[in-house]
Structure 1
Amino acid sequence: MFLRTSIAALLLVWFGTPCSAGSPALGAYVGNSTSNSQQFESWLGRPVDQIPAHTGRTDWNDWINSISWSVQLWSPLNKPICWTIPLFADGGSLSEAAAGAYQASYVRAAQMLAVTRPSDAVIYVRTGEEFNGNWMPWSAAGHEQDFVKAYRNFVAAFRSVSDRFRFEWNVNVRETRMNPADAYPGDDDVDVIGMDFYYNIQWNPTDPIKAWDEMVNSQYGLQWLEDFASAHKKPSAYPEWGVNSDRAGPYIAKAAQWFSDHNVLYQNVWNSNDAFPGKLSDGQYPNAAAAYIAAFGATTSGANMRASPNR
């Protein structure tokens, strides 16, 4: 215990202060609604530590304007924002991003974000998320070096505006189309190593303990992520995770313990039915909801917090 605390204290000196008062920081994706965020806090019985904000990519106008709109939307809540900014707009390409075709747009986005929340020491940005799957336009399977170059170009543009930006490299759990490490941009361009994981009873075991074991131990599962992050001396993060089973209570308890036991910087539950039917705060999964409150609510949040590095 002394050794773990000492290492965490040293990392805090080297890398800065936490994203929130405790670690791992807790957030909840609730869609683009401040009222939904406030409702989630009331339901959980404690405030969230951060807002996960996802911006648009219908075209380049949407790519830029949705960032400005999101800043205005979330500013009244006065909380740190962890941004998910698309690597490029629909109609763009990984090869063009790798060639530097979108640098002006990246700089413009960085300029908008750099002037927000000056009290925050750092601004977290995730881009190129879930690149190891085949559903994103920046899918890297077979194009690993283009992804690396595109990601580095994004980072370079943002850093040219401000040194407050910190960048998350993000994979999807258990995707075997490629080895994600082949598209790792390098330690100089990655501050946080993240993974999205969802318990979906359409393809995961209905038994929640078996589902959790599968999530952890499968190829490119949670254990792989933590081993990879540790090897690169980076904190991990889980910016999207969720469940769609009312039997998920034991799984949720395992997730809470996993976050507590590892060097996790932040974790955001998917409390929404957009794209994935995972909303917990509306009564559709009452038993799973009770388990989430027991694991992360006001009476237990303090026990789950621990010192964690933040770059």
Structure 2
Amino acid sequence: MRLGRVTLAAAALLLLTTASVPDGTPLSQTERHAALSSEAIEPRGAAPRPAVLRANHEAPWGAFVGSWDTYIPDIARMARWLGDANMQVGHTYLAGNGWSDIEGDIAVLGLWSQWRQGEPNRRLVLGVPMLVPNEAGVPDAEVARLLARGGNGEFDQHFLKLARKLVALGGGDTVITLGWEMNGVTYTSRCKPDPAAWKAYWRRIVGLMRSVPGQHFGFDFTPNRGVDAIPWTRCYPGDDVVDIIGMDSYDQPAGGTFDEYVNEPYGLQDQVEFAAKRGKPVSYPEWGLFRNGDNPEFVRRMVEWMRTHDTAYQTVTDYCPHGFWQCDRNPRSAAVFKQLMAGSQGAPAPGTALPGAGRPGGQPSAQAPRR
């Protein structure tokens, strides 16, 4: 989710299969783990279930305060609002209007990388679209064609240029949320039009970026919470090309409860179990309020969840209607967030690579395509 877009989520009463749903139509949120593919999540109660709870701890954390370099000072301002808390994670996005955006503006990437290098335990999280234009309502048939072109290597040079710039600027350990929210309907970088092609293209991009000497990127697979347009397990590209299993989790739909967010199909519980089986940490690159107004209980429960699971990092979305510091609509939630996070020093040093993130430069985990 980003500024200016509305999440499309459904809460129907019928169980639907992928084949019976027209392109672009979200599946019912009540779909119960149908055997849609060999990668589907096992039904609850199947044994053995992995251990997912951790002792209460602080994960590296921060906020999305804006995409461009001009927003970087807001991280320090928000930290002061939180009693000089140590906000260790900066989160930004590439615009995705054209391929030059995917290659990265060198000035913007340079300033974000400079912020990252200001303290040894900071992390930079970068949202990278897989296709452009990324927010233009591109029809499913065209998305499928673009995915195939990407899988055939037509767009390779743009991702190589991005990777080389990041390494040259000191951002070789950037965590990349590649094609985030791929199980939804908003972005061109989505999976439902052709899951097999989407996975092949993801694998190609990761292989390319990991082929750049000096990199140790972390690749974060980050769907929306729940089923949305397609179960996110159908989009999972493989353990060798994923370092972190993320989830964007907002307080929606209207009338939803946190327990429902935990227990819904492909929700928070399924995420942590899916990750634990693969020995990978989880993340929450986007979270915040949305459909239920000023909801301090959601804030409290979400922070508690992140502190008691194997969370690599978390970044709250801090603008209206989602956030607390830059949004005066949510005074009760802001008070709770401030109570929970004020003065937090984040995860202890050393602040090297995120858990599970990256491979040494020149040794990609997936075979790099020829270019």
After TM superposition, the score normalised by the length of structure 1 is 0.82
SS of corresponding position for 1:164: coil
Determine the structure 2 residue equivalent to 1:138: 189
Matched residue, 2:81: 43
User: CA deviation digits over 1:221-251, x for unaligned, max 9?
Assistant: 1111111111111111010001145542121
Q: Residue 309 in 1 paired to residue 355 in 2?
A: yes
Provide Cα deviations, 1:46-88, integer angstroms capped at 9, x if missing partner.
131011121111111233243x232133245324311111112
CA contact (8 A) 1:55 1:70 kept: no
Structure 1 distance, partners of 2:198, 2:76, is 37
Deviation, structure 1 residue 36: 2.0
| Counterpart position of 1:223 | 269
What does residue 210 of structure 2 align with? Answer: 159
SS of the equivalent of 1:171 reads coil
Q: In the TM superposition, what is the alpha-carbon distance from 1:170 to its structure 2 partner?
A: 1.1
- Contact 1:176/1:220 (<8 A) preserved: no
C-alpha spacing 1:111/1:43, structure 2 compared with 1 (3 Å): same
Structure 2 length normalisation: TM-score?
Answer: 0.69
Q: State which of 324, 336, 357 in structure 2 corresponds to 1:280.
A: 324
Counterpart pick for 1:54 among 93, 116, 127: 93
1:253 corresponds to which residue? 300
The reply to whether residue 86 of structure 1 matches residue 129 of structure 2 is yes
Report the AA paired with residue 43 of structure 1: W
Question: What corresponds to 1:123 in structure 2?
Answer: 174
More helix by share: 1
Aligned residue for 2:129, secondary structure, equals coil
Residues 38 and 305 (structure 1), Cα distance of their counterparts in 2 relative to 1, 3 Å cut: closer
Give the whole-Å Cα distance in 2 for the aligned partners of 1:280 and 1:132: 27
User: What is the one-letter code of the residue matched to 2:269?
Assistant: Q
Q: Which deviates the most, 256-265 or 170-179?
A: 170-179
Q: Deviations over 1:97-127 (max 9, x none)?
A: 1222111111110000112337x7x321110
Equivalence for 1:100? 153
**Whole-Å separation in 2 of the counterparts to 1:214 and 1:182:** 22
Identity, % of aligned positions: 26
One-letter amino acid of the structure 2 residue matched with residue 85 of structure 1:
V
Residue 266 of structure 1, aligned match among 313, 321, 343: 313
Residue 259 (structure 2) aligns with: 213
Answer with 174-183 or 264-273: which moved more: 174-183
Judge conservation of contact 2:316–2:323 (CA < 8 Å) in 1: no
- Alignment-mate amino acid for residue 126 of structure 1: T
Residue 195 of structure 1: aligned partner: 247
| Contact 1:260-1:305 at 8 Å conserved across structures | no
Larger Rg: 2
| Maintained 8 Å contact 1:195/1:239 | yes
- Residue in 2 that maps onto 1:294: 339
Structure 1 match to 2:232:
180
In structure 1, C-alpha distance between the alignment counterparts of 2:284 and 2:78, rounded to whole Å: 19
Match in the other structure for 1:15: none
Q: Which amino acid aligns with 1:36?
A: D
Quick check: 2:218–2:356 contact (8 Å CA) kept in 1?
Answer: no
Deviations along 1:266-310, whole A, 9 cap, x unmatched?
00000023xxx2231143311110100112221xx35x8589834
Residue 211 of structure 2 aligns to which amino acid in structure 1?
S
2:100 alignment partner AA: N
Structure 2 unmatched ranges of 5 or more: 1-50, 135-142, 358-371
- Output the CA distance in 2 between the equivalents of 1:292 and 1:310: 28
Structure 1: runs of 5+ lacking an equivalent: 9-21
Range with bigger deviation, 28-37 or 221-230:
28-37
Residues in 2 aligned to 1:250 and 1:306: alpha-carbon distance in whole angstroms: 27
Aligned length: 278
RMSD across aligned C-alpha pairs, in angstroms? 2.5
